[in-house]
Amino acid sequence: MKLYFATGNQKKCDEVKSNMPNWIELKCQKINLPEKQTLDLVEISYQKALVAFNKLKKPVIVDDTGFYLEAYNNFPWPLAKYVMEGIGYKGFKRLVEWVSPKAKFVAVISYMDSNLLEPVSFIWEMPGELDFSDMDKEIDPKVKKYFPYNLIFRPRGSKKLYRRFDEEQTKAISHRAKAIKKLLTWLHQKKV
């Protein structure tokens, strides 16, 4: 099956490709997708899938991820990228200095093809907490650019930061990988 992934982020493309079985040929396609202004991550992903499918007219997936702080009613929601650009790591550290550092990643993968009336979304959450103990260490600029929250996030049950996981460890617990697994199970059951 040929499946398109609408993304301009090569790191996301590589991660998603590494999670695809050999019965899926994944093609990453850079498409300008408008992002609906809402705090509902599923709605954002759903709308992106509709637009991507209308442009490509081929089976397509889109990915959207949010980062949530428990102490702040799940702020910054899907706006995590913009908040990080605005306040940086020092700002995040100040946010959680006196409150719970509990946080989570949420990934939504939405799929659309010509046999569906609307996109189908697959969601996975990865709980953990913020940990700034590693911020004085040298940081790979690629990680900082593409996955900035990995630098300060420690998955629940782990003693190390997410950025310290190798590729196999990441695949085993990644919120995106788990959402993709749900998509693959659904595609297999539908015999798409």
Residue 76: both structure tokens together: 């910054």
End-to-end CA distance of the chain: 8
Strands (E), 93-157: 102-112, 120-130, 153-155
Q: What are residue 69's DSSP bridge partners?
A: 103
CA of residue 145 relative to chain centroid, distance:
14
**For the chain, how many residues are written?**
192
Catalytically active residues are 64
Which residue shows structure tokens 């995040």?
92
